[in-house]
Chains A and B, each alone.
Chain A
Amino acid sequence: MRVRRDPRGEREACRLAGHGRLRFVLSIAKSKGARPRRAPRALRLAATVTTAPRLRIAWKGGITPHAGRTDMAACAPAETVSIVAEPAFYVLVVPEAGSDGELGETGRQLLAAARLLADRGNGAVCVLGDGDGDYGPAGADRVLTLATSDPGGYDPEHRVAGIIDAISVISPRHVLFSETPEGGDIARRVGARLGERLFPGVEALEPCAEGGMRVLRRMAGNGPAQLASPPRLISIMPDAFAPHVGPPHEGRPLDALAPVVPERRIVSALPLPVDPDAIPLAEADFLLSGGNGVTDWQAFAELAAALGATRAGSRVVCDQGHLPRERQVGASGTLVTAGCYFALGISGAAQHLQGIARVAHVVAVNTDLHAEMIKRADLAIIADAQKVMPALVRLLAERRGRVR
């Protein structure tokens, strides 16, 4: 703290007394002012706790402030791993099986919901993984590995035996499933086997008056909301919770499980070939879509057959009758959710781009470099669709021939 100057006092001290005219002797030592002077900038800097993501100043103390101004880079990603060493209870998360230990979108949402339940007390989230995936960043404290006998096969009874084994090992307070066709099936099998009530299709967790949490679901047929304190078995609706965004968790592996394999009652399971054009447009995973730039519809059909893609089109081609109306993609047609959208000769009207807003990968072939579809596409090719289609059919036939 600097000493506050007192200019008038200093001036008085320098004055020579006696004469009619004011005289000052500036060589006289300056007097020390009594009142110390505040330095507001230094005070503010000393009280600053963080500057990012938002400025935070603790004027009253209580929180140890940083010595100086903390910069963005040092503060933004707090790379500390949260560790729950001695959990009061466990929350077991059962994500959907398959896809090589990769946690899908629903799996991440499931872990986020489990974190909400676990963080109310000093709980730990344990995920039932089926590979050597990294579950820590998604919010898992522990990982139990359940080896699948036949990856890609369908043996729900085997998986249920594994889950029941896991429940008996860690005796969790809650077990969370995802309310997808496969996850819902597993959840109900586990519920029936354990003879416990399943609370299916939870849409939200809401705090209640006693300080706990309540789960909320909707009853059948646009029915009322049903609320209860969370039971042991819960299944969570997809997209009900946002994935975990906080610091990564430990993801420590526990001992692998070796469940007793029950006798198979579902003897065999094999995928059936499906006609791609019979799949509803909103459900199809791979779409081949034609627009006004396509004139050779025979080649278009051949390419769709070679790729195994579902055929779709823009409004213009459906208006012209090249494709039936239910194949139209866009605001006035179907909003598609495909994994891949292959657009041929589509310029990309705003209404069409709305229709493909939820598509993961877009490939576009168009003659116009400045078309909107070219900007949207992940792989854009400036070429005539009529020349590319037969070339791609030939290439596919050649590669298939080499594989066989």
Chain B
Amino acid sequence: MTRVAVLLSLGKHPASGRSRRAGLDARALELALDLARGMPDAEVRAVHAGDPANEALRDYLGMGIETLDVLDVAPGHDPVSALAGFLRAGRFDLVLCGMRAEAGEGSGMVPYLIAETLEYAVVCDAAAIACAEVGARVVQALPRGRRREVTVVLPAVVAVNAAAYPARAPAFARSRRGRIAVHPAKVCEDAYLAACETRPWRALPKRMALASGVSAAERMKALTEVKAGEGHLLVHPSPEDAAKAIYDYLIEKRILQARGSKEEGG
């Protein structure tokens, strides 16, 4: 039997600032529900550390879970120890969560700290997940649209990326019917975060691409002029010569060769 836990946090609407379900955590729950649909013996538990009275938590219940476990953690307190205690007691094989929170510090450390505390493996940037014989196969979303499949031994913490399949819309009746189970939690205040100074965000000056030290006229020129190319020019070559020139250029700049080596790797 595979036991899956999903860590859910509360999101914040970027414009209005209202509480809502967090996009990445909802994607993680969607992946878990998808995984459970393919495996009849899988069990999915959802857990949140925070205020159990928040209405936005019902959005997660509306996605199709019966019970949401909420560890009662006051704001400004570190939820990692409470979450780790809950997960250790539950002996989960797979812990899913979003890469980082939408509100608060948003350091993205929670999956790593939990994995370190429980001595689990950790995989980030997950876009899809499937169970294999030895563990779980996770598809990672990399920059430039690339994908990588890694096999990780269980138990593991998997952090979900925005490239994962979007979460389903919450159903209203289910969100009303679902149960929120509150557990007391022993946590300590996050002293470091409280000691940090905060102030309203002010946009930083845009960094100029040009080094200082050159004259003002040169900086102005570099900022305003259209970048000219290297300027290799072939006028009316035969199609074969043109194709050869393009091919050689792409090879020289490692645009085609890189692709070839990638294919060999795959």
Q: 1/0 per position for B127-144, CB-CB distance to A under 8 A? A: 000000011000100111
- Residue pair B121, A266 in contact (C-beta under 8 Å): yes
Q: Which of B153-212 contact A (CB under 8 A)?
A: 153, 156, 192, 195-202, 204, 207-208, 211-212
The reply to whether the CB of B100 lies closer than 8 angstroms to some CB of chain A is: yes
Cα separation A219 to B184 with both chains bound (whole Å): 28
Q: Is B235 a contact partner of A363 (Cβ separation < 8 A)? A: no
B240 within 8 A of A: yes
With an 8 Å Cβ cutoff, the count of chain A residues facing the other chain is: 83
B239 lies within 8 A of A219 (CB): no
Given A265-B156, A353-B226: A283 in contact with B196 (beta carbons within 8 A): no
CA distance A262 to B14 in the complex (A): 41
| CB-nearest residue of chain B to A308 | B259
Q: Is the CB of B150 within 8 A of A268?
A: yes
Chain A contact surface mostly = mixed
**CB-CB contacts below 8 Å: B215-232 with A:** 215, 226-232
> Given A221-B102, A228-B197, A272–B147 Cβ distance below 8 Å?
yes
Question: Which residues on the B side are within 8 Å of A13 (C-beta)?
Answer: none
Q: Is the CB of B151 within 8 A of A266?
A: yes
Taking the closest CB of chain A, its distance from the CB of B156, in whole angstroms, is: 7
A81 interface residue per 8 A CB criterion: no
Q: A219 contacts which of B106, B143, B151, B230 (Cβ < 8 Å)?
A: B106
Instruction: Assess whether B148 is in contact with A269, with CB atoms less than 8 Å apart.
Output: yes
Known: A221-B103, A267-B135, A274-B147. A379 touches B249 (CB 8 A): yes
Q: Does A164 interact with chain B (Cβ within 8 Å)? A: no
Nearest to A353 among chain B residues (CB) is B226
Query: Complex Cα distance A301/B208, Å?
Result: 39
Do B239 and A270 touch across chains, with their CB atoms under 8 A apart? no
Flag whether B234 is at the interface (Cβ < 8 A).
yes
Residue of A221, A365, A403 with highest tally of chain B CB at under 10 A: A221
Contacts of A185 in B (CB 8 A): 124-125
Supposing A191-B109, A218-B201, A270-B265 touch, asked if A388 and B150 sit within 8 A by C-beta, the answer is: no
Nearest CB on B from A164, distance (A): 12
Q: Is the CB of A188 within 8 A of B265?
A: no
Q: Is A73 an interface residue (CB 8 A)?
A: no
Interface residues as binary, A303-317 with B (CB distance below 8 Å gives 1, 0 otherwise): 000011000000000
* Known interface pairs A225-B198, A268-B151, A383-B237; A395-B156 also in contact (CB < 8 Å): no
Contacts of B146 in A (CB 8 A): 271, 274
- Contact (A188, B108) CB under 8 Å given A269-B148, A339-B255: yes
Chain A min CB distance to B184 (Å) = 26
Question: Which chain A residue lies CB-closest to B251?
Answer: A399
- In addition to A226-B196, A383-B242, A395-B243, 18 A-B residue pairs with Cβ atoms within 8 Å of each other are A184-B108, A188-B111, A200-B108, A219-B105, A220-B103, A225-B199, A241-B207, A245-B213, A269-B148, A270-B148, A271-B262, A273-B266, A362-B229, A376-B226, A380-B229, A382-B233, A391-B240, A396-B247
The 3 A-B residue pairs with the shortest CB-CB distance in the complex, in nearest-first order: A220-B106, A279-B145, A265-B121
29 cross-chain CB contacts under 8 A: A191-B112, A192-B112, A197-B192, A219-B104, A219-B106, A220-B102, A221-B101, A224-B198, A225-B202, A226-B198, A227-B196, A228-B197, A242-B208, A245-B211, A267-B151, A273-B263, A283-B144, A286-B255, A286-B259, A340-B255, A342-B246, A365-B242, A375-B229, A375-B231, A380-B229, A382-B233, A388-B239, A392-B243, A395-B240
